[in-house]
Structure 1
Amino acid sequence: MSTLTGQRPSGPAPYRPSGPARYRPSGLTWTVLRLHRTALYVWGAALLVAAAALIWLVAAGPDARATVGGCDAADPFPMDCGTVHWTTTARIYSYGLALVSAGVTFQMFAVAVWAGAVLTGRELESGTARLAWTQSVTPARWLATRLAVPAALLTAGTALAVLLGNWTRRAGNGHLSGGWFNTNVFISSGPVAITYALAGLALGALAGLALRRALPAAAAALAAAYVLYEVLDRIRMSLWPSVTATGRAALQLPNGTLVLEQGVVSGDGRRLSNYMACSGIDNSAALGKCMRESEWTDFWTTYHPESHYWPLQLVESGLLLAVTGLAAAAAFALLRRRHA
């Protein structure tokens, strides 16, 4: 009758926050950020330190570049040119950039351990996840949020580190920052860095859901990430077709070339690898004489030019995204089977 007569129902009024608390973020996303704020602070601090270091190294780039000698265009082995005069500036630039590159490369292992031990394993072990599932949060939504929030932060932060790292490399010299095919340089300078971090996140989450205990999940996630890293490191240069040059071109490769194999061709047509007799002779007549006396008919070199950087990056990124998708799908399937 109170409603019909216009009177308010008796009892305490529902609580409505006022002031700054009224605009405080809420929801499952905010819960994930608050619950894992320590990891967020540590990761954010590491990102800020790396960014500050890279910006500082840019200022040292011109001085570091001056410590590298030029290349003689007539040199038949341009990979050997560019002598570095190791000044203090050159060492700081080279070691600093190498340290940041290693940090970006190996963050996958830290992400995998954290995702297995803290993001999923500890919450399942302590019962926090089951408590959340009783409060109008489905297991699928719980897992989706725990994967989506870190994935977004890792993508944005790693992309920033990659862009700053490439800016720093352009300010210096390739002989100081390492060749594009160097493992740490290759991973930390392109989209592969982001996909490695996402793969570590998915593998860690899967390990946590499978084992439901923090320490075993951390160990399993670390092992899975290490196996993935080693396998891709071993097959990386076979993910895109290499180029084989013969004749004089096999001896005059452009700068930035990764030589996979090289050798000579014998009189009976056999290719002998890692045998480069007569290869250090510049004069054509002397080179021809040496080849006749040695009974070699030709030179050959199998290599990856620097232009293969992006195809290799995209293929490896695709493989890592496939691993990430499979691990995430397996995690959702496991969660659905246990809590159907």
Structure 2
Amino acid sequence: MSTLTGKHPSGQAPYRPSGPARYRPSGLTWTVLRLHRTALYVWGAALLTVVAALIWLLAAGPEARAAVGGCDASDPFPLDCGTVQQTATARTYDYVLALASACVTFQMYAVAVWAGAVLTGRELESGTARLAWTQSVTPARWLATRLAVPAVLLTAGTTLAVLLGNRTRHAGREDLSGGWFTMNVFISSGPVAVAYALSGLALGALAGLVLRRALPAAAAALAAAYVLHEVLDRFRMSLWPAETATGLAALQLPRGTLVLENGAVTGDGERLSNTMACVGTDSAAALGKCMKETGLTDFWTTYQPESHFWPLQLVESGLLLAVTGLAAAAAFALLRRRHS
């Protein structure tokens, strides 16, 4: 009868919080946020600083563009555009945008260290995790919550920074923010920024579970993040097939092109790398005379055009998400094996 009426067997109604305590957040998600509120505050402050800087740059963009002046898109040597005299406004715009881009690019290291040292390593070392497992929280649910909560926050915050960064970069001059292929600009301009942050989270969590000590886990997570970051940076432009131009097209590439390799072709068909003899001649007649004298028959250039930005972004993001999935799967498998 007491079950039907909702009353305690003793005749007293069960205790229910009242007032503000009634609406206080609870549950495992709230516990993760509360336990790691210091990291949340630090990351939130850094994100707000980056967002505020990018919003300020949105207002400074038109002024910076006007200060530097225009570049002729038909110029066969677009690098000459970078020799213009920049004003203080342009230099400030360039510096602040580069700093904001670097924060987005290298947040992976901070996330990996935090995930290894604090999110998993310290809780295993101090026994906090084992205490949670004795209170109707399974190890798998414990780990899933500790990965899901920061993953959602990192995805949302990084996406906001990327969108604002792209808007800011387009408000100013392309010369001020660097080419699309430079590391900071490439990573901070697309979904690969989110993928790097998530991979740092997964690698850090795995390091914490393997070593179960805060400091060694932080060092291992940092090393793993560094290796992954450097390997992808080294082979980034090989993730999508490059294009090759010959003849005059090899000497007049469009703006924003990244030249990977160039050279000339000899009379017997041999390709000479990084040999651009006769390129600086004044006219087509002088060019032909120089090529005849040197025995060259053609020129070639292998390059990545700006149109390959998104294919490269998607391929690198896919590789990073694969690493993230493997690291997370390994973490769950290790946890299951230890506590099965």
The normalised TM-score by structure 1 is: 0.96
2:106 counterpart residue number: 106
Residues 217-251 of structure 1: CA deviation (Å, up to 9, x unaligned): 00000000000001001110000000010000000
Within-5 A mapping of 1:249-264? 249-264=249-264
2:156 counterpart residue number: 156
Identity, % of aligned positions: 84
> CA, structure 1 residues 18+339, in 2 after alignment: closer, same or farther (shift >3 Å)?
same
2:192 counterpart residue number: 192
Distance, in Å, in 1 between the alignment partners of 2:76 and 2:99 is 33
Residues 291-340 of structure 1: CA deviation (Å, up to 9, x unaligned): 11221100110000000000000000000000000000000000000000
1:126 counterpart residue number: 126
Secondary structure in 2 aligned to 1:143?
A: helix
Q: Which amino acid aligns with 2:109?
A: F
Q: Which amino acid aligns with 2:192?
A: V
Confirm whether residue 84 of structure 1 aligns to residue 84 of structure 2: yes
Q: Which amino acid aligns with 2:225?
A: A
Distance, in Å, in 1 between the alignment partners of 2:51 and 2:186 is 19
Distance, in Å, in 2 between the alignment partners of 1:120 and 1:8 is 40
Q: Which amino acid aligns with 1:99?
A: L
Q: CA deviation at 1:15?
A: 2.1
Distance, in Å, in 1 between the alignment partners of 2:281 and 2:48 is 51
Contact 1:162 1:188 in 2 (8 A): yes
2:289 counterpart residue number: 289
1:97 counterpart residue number: 97
Q: CA deviation at 1:74?
A: 5.2
Distance, in Å, in 2 between the alignment partners of 1:331 and 1:321 is 15
Contact 2:8 2:14 in 1 (8 A): no
1:48 counterpart residue number: 48
1:328 counterpart residue number: 328
1:142 counterpart residue number: 142
2:25 counterpart residue number: 25
Q: CA deviation at 1:11?
A: 6.9
> CA, structure 1 residues 74+215, in 2 after alignment: closer, same or farther (shift >3 Å)?
closer
Distance, in Å, in 2 between the alignment partners of 1:45 and 1:301 is 46
Q: Which amino acid aligns with 2:244?
A: T
Q: CA deviation at 1:76?
A: 2.7
> CA, structure 1 residues 125+280, in 2 after alignment: closer, same or farther (shift >3 Å)?
same
Q: Which amino acid aligns with 1:127?
A: G
Q: More displaced, 56-65 or 27-36? A: 56-65
Q: CA deviation at 1:118?
A: 0.4
Distance, in Å, in 1 between the alignment partners of 2:28 and 2:172 is 45
Secondary structure in 2 aligned to 1:66?
A: helix
Q: Which runs of 5+ in 2 are unaligned?
A: none
Contact 2:258 2:305 in 1 (8 A): yes
- Give the number of equivalent residue pairs: 339
> CA, structure 1 residues 156+333, in 2 after alignment: closer, same or farther (shift >3 Å)?
same
Distance, in Å, in 2 between the alignment partners of 1:275 and 1:78 is 20
Residues 101-147 of structure 1: CA deviation (Å, up to 9, x unaligned): 00000000000000000000000000000000011100000000000
Secondary structure in 1 aligned to 2:106?
A: helix
Contact 1:68 1:82 in 2 (8 A): no
Q: Which runs of 5+ in 1 are unaligned?
A: none
Contact 1:242 1:304 in 2 (8 A): yes
Q: CA deviation at 1:12?
A: 5.7
> CA, structure 1 residues 22+307, in 2 after alignment: closer, same or farther (shift >3 Å)?
same
Residues 155-199 of structure 1: CA deviation (Å, up to 9, x unaligned): 000000000100110010111000000001000010000000000
Secondary structure in 1 aligned to 2:67?
A: coil
Distance, in Å, in 2 between the alignment partners of 1:96 and 1:278 is 41
> CA, structure 1 residues 3+64, in 2 after alignment: closer, same or farther (shift >3 Å)?
closer
